[in-house]
Amino acid sequence: MSPVAIVSDTTHYLPPELVEREGIHQVSLYVGWTGESTKELELGGFDAFYARLASDPATPTTSQPSIGDFLAVWEPLLEEGKDIVSVHLAGGISGTCEAARQARALLAERGLGERVEVIDGETGCGGLGFLLLAGVAAARAGGDLQAVAEHVKKARERARIWFCIDTLEYLRRGGRIGKAQAWLGGTLKIKPILTLQYEITPIERVRTSKRAFERMVEYGQRLVDEGLTAWAVQHIQAREEAERLAQRCRDVVGGEPLFISEVGPVIGTYTGPGLLGVGGIDPAFLA
């Protein structure tokens, strides 16, 4: 039985040290303003990008990896004798997973397709990160390609993320607003709370940042109620708020978070600075 490697794109935003420790392989998406497309993995820190995003009237563009980008990551792993489970950003907001399927089809022509399983994570950011950690756990336990893939798919049903953002404007500008379209045009200044379940899905609206924060804490309690107590916090340019939310969730959910991390530009282009989110997964999937 061949060992199984876990591959994803860059939109999980797990801390780099966690990615390295768990041996997760990455295929980078691209982001930039006109004529400046750069691999997200090559950006380094995110502060300069978000400063420009807040001040530049032009909207950045994002793009999925090429088929060649996938093959460049997969082929060395296959040559090492490893099978691959490749888990990617929700197909409802990105063509990344479809590009991965096309890359797998090329491998199939060479008789290698059966060694790669491509999975639409149907989520992103921390939700995708949870699935990758579940895949790592299954691979480490000795699961074969099919067992690891099935474990990830089951974990997908037991992972949740919720996030609040300052404005819907970035989603509107980027064309990723999905079902939250109905919230545009209102006269009240609102703080949207959303989730990502194949596409951006609206949950509720609150009127103040303080109330949005408290709702994130209440979603932490919901994690407890649903048994999803392996948890994490993510943010965009909101480090102090993220640490404060993590502290509240330590009291509510218990224990330490799996990670606290910043969401990068590929997703941040469509949400803008100020995002604050919490999510969790059933810890049994990480055992």
Whether 190 and 247 map to the same domain: the answer is: yes
Report pLDDT for 187: 42
pLDDT tens-digit series, residues 163-219: 999 887 787 776 655 545 555 545 457 788 999 888 888 899 898 999 999 999 999
Same domain as 99, residue 132: yes
pTM: 0.94
- Could you tell me which residues come within 8 angstroms of residue 285 by beta carbon, excluding any fewer than 6 positions away? 130, 134, 137, 151, 154, 155, 158, 230
**Residue numbers of the domain that contains 186:** 159-286
Residues in the chain predicted with pLDDT less than 50, given as ranges, are 179, 185, 187
Domain CATH code at residue 269 = 3.30.1180.10
The CATH number for 58's domain is 3.40.50.10170
Decide: helix, strand or coil at residue 3.
coil
pLDDT tens string 82-110 = 999 999 999 999 999 999 999 999 999 99
* Predicted local confidence at residue 2, as pLDDT: 85
Q: What is the pLDDT of residue 198?
A: 87
- Shared domain for 62 and 24, answered yes or no, is yes
Q: Indicate the number of domains in the chain.
A: 2
Q: Are residues 182 and 281 in the same domain?
A: yes
Residues 124 and 149 in one domain: yes
pLDDT at 175: 61
